[in-house]
Amino acid sequence: MKRSHEPPLWLLFGAGGLLAALLGPALILLTGVVVPVAAERGVEVLGYEATRELLARPLVGVLLALSLGVVLWHAAHRIYHTLRDLGMRAGQGVWWACYGSAAIGTLVAIGAVIALW
Amino acid sequence: MSEPAKITLEVQRYHPEQDSGPRWQRYTVPYTAEMSVLEGLQYIKDHLDGSLTFRWSCRMAICGSCGCMIDGEPELACHVFLRDYAPGPVRVAALDHFPIQRDLVIDHSDFLEKLETVHSYLIPAEERTPADGTHRQTPQAMADYYDYAQCINCLLCYAACPQYGWHPDFAGPAALALLQRYNLDDRDGGHRLRERVIDAEQGVWGCTLVGYCSEVCPKGVDPARAINQNKAGSAARYLLGWWRPGRRRGEDRE
Ligand code: SF4
Ligand code: FES
């Protein structure tokens, strides 16, 4: 029997899922409720300057870019497997399209935070 | 007395030696509220068409031999009632994903071969002889694997699994649930042997967590859970293989 090389992909998928489940609701609350309600009262939360400054700190920026990366990875993995469940003969091309776009997204995010330094 | 209610059954017929492909045949069957679909098939065989071929034995969801697709869903024919499909037509076909021997009878040799690869038997953790007496365990220890031990090998889960349909190499739900049944038994010491199957492409990594297997299982086995309980451990072994490359290469060889 051939050993599967899926585990690293699956671990990143799991990490992304966990992060999305943990941060998703907090982000929705923050961007959907806290920020606009605060803005209505004239208080600026997560303002452009403050956020930019925060992201320009290398550790924060890179961590955030990587978090975004694993969430993208989670999506790529799920989409790839769902296509296979739906009967698509998902070969190398589809594999690269899914995981490749997650990898590119991650690199773009890292590039973006580096550009802030 | 009033006429008994009637239901139409469309049954898949196929004699591989004679027919170019499967076809549907219609039968009208009188039924009562307590009649199962299996009893409908038996009525056809006894009164309408003796050539209809299907498997059955226990008539009470124990033997696992009457599995078929009923209106596209994997079911035990003895476990569902005609009244729920009346007035029909209800379609009864052979289980998906298996070769048909005749009509509703499938060839399950592929599953039996897979069952042999997962070491689904107790491999005692310590040497024992019959003189040591009964190999006892506490009720709590038994509870760990009890649900997985309820499998009746009906193969509804294989008919439900899209991945088994696309990749027949995949060990599949029931075989992997039975593997887990023995791995969770505190008297068993066969984990290392079963790791090869778990870690393989055809093992737990062939599963994409569709979960339909657990939904159709008539015995509440939850094979999807059994499979996915193994992914974290398998992933840990994989990383450990990076750490100690010799070990992983050794496992690749087979
Ligand atoms: S796991 Fe359930 S559905 Fe699958 S063979 Fe066993 S009893 Fe049947
Ligand atoms: S006849 Fe035994 S399970 Fe249906």
Q: Which ligand is nearest to the CA of B58?
A: 2
Does A1 reside within a domain?
Answer: no
Please give the tally of structural domains in chain B.
2
Does A5 reside within a domain?
Answer: no
- Regarding whether B138 and B97 lie in a shared domain, the answer is no
B232: containing domain: 109-243
Q: Which ligand is nearest to the CA of B155?
A: 1
Does A6 reside within a domain?
Answer: no
Q: Which residue of B37, B42, B65, B151 sits with most ligand 2 atoms within 8 Å of its CB, as the best mutation to test the pocket?
A: B65
Please give the tally of structural domains in chain A.
1
Identify the domain boundary among B106, B141, B163: B106
- Regarding whether B224 and B113 lie in a shared domain, the answer is yes
A3: three-class secondary structure by DSSP:
strand
Residues B81-106 as b/e (b if ≥16 CB within 10 A, e otherwise) read: bbeebeebbbbbbbbbbbebbbbbbb
- Regarding whether B208 and B188 lie in a shared domain, the answer is yes
Identify the domain boundary among B80, B106, B132: B106
- Regarding whether B181 and B120 lie in a shared domain, the answer is yes
B122-135 confidence digits (pLDDT tens): 999 888 888 998 88
| Interface ipTM > 0.85 | no
A34: containing domain: 12-116
Residue B67 CB less than 6 A away from ligand 2: no
Identify the domain boundary among B106, B128, B155: B106
The whole-number pLDDT of residue B252 equals: 46
Residues of B in contact with A6 (CB under 8 A): 201, 205
Question: The domain that contains B187 carries what CATH number?
Answer: 1.10.1060.10
Residue B54 CB less than 6 A away from ligand 2: no
Does A2 reside within a domain?
Answer: no
Residues with C-beta less than 6 Å from any ligand 1 atom: B 151-157, 173-174, 177, 216-217, 219, 221, 223
Give dist(CA B62, CA B219) in Å, integer. Answer: 9
- Regarding whether B133 and B87 lie in a shared domain, the answer is no
Q: Which residue, judged by its Cα, is nearest atom 3 of ligand 1?
A: B217
Residues of B in contact with A1 (CB under 8 A): 117, 196-197, 200-203, 254
Q: Which of A66-70, B8-12, B34-38 has the lowest mean pLDDT?
A: A66-70
| pLDDT value at B154 more than 70 | yes
Instruction: Tell me whether residue A117 is exposed, middle or buried, using C-beta atoms within 10 angstroms of its C-beta: 0 to 12, 13 to 18, 19 or more.
Output: exposed
- Regarding whether B209 and B130 lie in a shared domain, the answer is yes
| pLDDT value at A112 more than 80 | yes
- Regarding whether B230 and B119 lie in a shared domain, the answer is yes
User: What's the whole-model pTM score?
Assistant: 0.86
